[in-house]
Amino acid sequence: MGEDEECSSAPSRRGGNAENGKNGAALDPEREKRYAELFEQLDLNKDGRLDINELRTGLATRGLQLREAEKIVLESDTNHDGLLDFQEFSQYLQTHEKRLWLMFHRLDHNNDGQIDVGEIQHSLQKLGVEVTMEQASKILQSMDRDGTMTIDWNEWRDHFLFNPLHNMEEIVHHWKHSHMFDIGEHLTVPDEFSERERQSGLVWRQLVAGAMAGAVSRTGTAPLDRLKVFLQVVIVVIVFFKTMSFEHWKPSYSSFSNKISFQLYSNYFPVFGCKF
C-alpha cells in the first residue's frame, strides 16, 4: 500500500518531511492514504470523528496503555471539542512522525538507515544509562518485526506511532518500564532536548525531584531508625531486670532503669516536644 516505499525514502528527503510536519503542509498521497486507513480503523461508529473511548479501544488492541489516548487528544484537539476529526488526527501523526524521525536519526550513528543492538547500548550509555548487551537486545527485539536484529524507519515509526513520546529521555523511561531494567541514578539531560524544554525547567524539575527524594530518604529515616533500635534495646533490658526474682538485683535494676530513662529523655524526647 506504498507505506514501506514512503518511509524507506525518509532519509533522503528528511528536510522536506520535517517542514511538512512543522508547517502543516498538504499530505502527499501515500501518507494521506495511510493516515486515512488508520483513521478508518479507529473510527468505530463511522461518524468521521474519534472520541476518547474509540482511541482507548484502538490503542488497547495495539498493546498500549489507555492513558496514551488522553495524551493524544490533549495534543491533537485544536478546537477543544473533545473529538478528533481527520485533519486534527493527521496533523498529530505528521508532527509526531517528525519527532520520531529525529530520534531515529540520532540513534542511527552510522547513518545506514538501521538501528542495531550496539547503537541502542551506545545511545543509552551517552545518556548515563548502563545496560547490558542482553538488555539492549530485548529492547531491539520488541520493535523488530522481521527478525533481522535491526530496526529500520518503518519498524521504529510504527512501534511508537501512537505512543506520544517527545524526546530520548521519555523513550528511555518507556524502555525501563516496558523491559523492567534499572536506569540508575545518573540519567543526564541529553542534547536532544529542545530549547523550549530546557527553558521551561521541566527536565531539571524531574531530575531535582529524584535527587530530593533520595536525600530525604537518607536524612529523614536514618535518625528514626536509630531511635527505633535504641528503644528496642531499652525495652529488652528493662524487661530483663523486671523478670529477675532475686532481691539483691532490685537496687541495681532501679538505678539502671533511672539512668536509662534519663538518657532517653535527654537525648530523644526533647526533640519531639514530649514529656517523659
Last residue of a domain, one of 131, 166, 197: 197
Partners of 84 in the beta sheet?
50
What's residue 128's pLDDT?
A: 84
Q: What is the pLDDT of residue 4?
A: 43
Which three cell numbers, joined as nine digits, stand for 270?
526533647
What pLDDT does 179 receive?
A: 63
> Do 106 and 230 lie in a common domain?
no
Task: Return the amino acid letter for 147.
Answer: G
Could you give the C-alpha distances from 225 to 219, 229, 233, 250, 263, in angstroms and in order? Answer: 11, 6, 13, 31, 17
Residue 219 and residue 188 share a domain: no
Helix (H) or strand (E) holding 223: helix 202-242
Give the predicted TM-score (pTM) of the model: 0.57
- Asked whether residue 116 falls in the same domain as residue 241, the answer is no
Asked whether the beta carbons of 39 and 89 are under 8 A apart, the reply is yes
C-alpha cell, 272: 519531639
What are the CA-CA distances from residue 24 to residues 94, 128, 157 (Å)? 8, 36, 19
Select from 141, 166, 197 the last residue of a domain: 197
pLDDT value at residue 237 = 66
Amino acid at 72: I
In this structure, are 174 and 246 located in the same domain?
A: no
Reference 175, options 227, 126, 137, 216; nearest CA is 137
Q: Cα-flanking dihedrals φ and ψ of residue 115, to 5°?
A: -110, 125
Q: What is the dihedral of CA 40, 42, 45, 46, to 10 degrees?
A: -20
C-alpha distances in Å from residue 156, one per residue of 42, 162, 247: 21, 12, 82
- The predicted structure's pLDDT at residue 195: 44
Spans of the chain below 50 pLDDT: 1-24, 183, 185-198, 200, 203, 245-251, 253, 268-276
The domain containing residue 151 runs over which residues?
3-197
* CATH for 135: 1.10.238.10
| Same domain? 240 vs 113 | no
Give pLDDT, residue 64: 76
Do 130 and 226 sit in the same domain of this protein?
Answer: no
Query: Do 214 and 182 share a structural domain?
Result: no
Instruction: Compute CA 95 distance to the chain's CA centroid, rounded to the nearest angstrom.
Output: 21
Compute how many other C-beta atoms are within 10 angstroms of the C-beta atom of residue 153: 24
Domain match, 193 and 73 both = yes
From 180, 197, 214, the end of a domain falls on 197
At 152, which helix (H) or strand (E)?
A: strand 151-152
Q: How many domains does the chain have?
A: 2
Among candidate residues 87, 28, 76, the one with its CA nearest the CA of residue 52: 76
Residues 122 and 174 in one domain: yes
Inter-CA distances, 249 with 29, 240, 246, 254, Å: 97, 11, 6, 9
